[in-house]
Amino acid sequence: MATITVEVQDKKLKFFKELLNQLSFVKIREDEPDEDTDEQVIANIREGVRQMRLVEQGKIQSRPAREFLDEL
């Protein structure tokens, strides 16, 4: 059996997987992507904005920038 690697746009992935599943001789093995998908990036940005608003409203405390940078 041969193996191929195919890169598919995030928005077309569901359709492509459904198409491949119709072929009885194809087996799909999913690997974790090397980078975040567009949806993950958007979700991370939304979460950051949500937390920023909570800090501005005084509902949560921010942490010092130095502490954040030290973790990197």
Reference 47, options 60, 33, 32, 64; nearest CA is: 60
Q: Give one word for 58, left, alpha or beta, with left for phi > 0 and alpha for psi -120 to 50.
A: left
Q: How confident is the model at residue 1 (pLDDT cuts 50, 70, 90)?
A: confident
**What contacts 1, CB < 8 A, 6 or more positions away?**
27
Q: Per the structure, how many domains does the chain have?
A: 1
Q: Provide the residue range defining the domain that includes 66.
A: 38-72
For the stretch 14-64, pLDDT in tens is: 999 999 999 999 988 877 767 788 888 999 999 999 999 999 999 999 989
Asked, for residue 28, whether it belongs to a domain, the answer is: no
72 is a domain residue: yes
- Taking residues 2-17, what's their average pLDDT? 90
19 within domain boundaries: no
- Please tell me the predicted confidence (pLDDT) of residue 68: 86
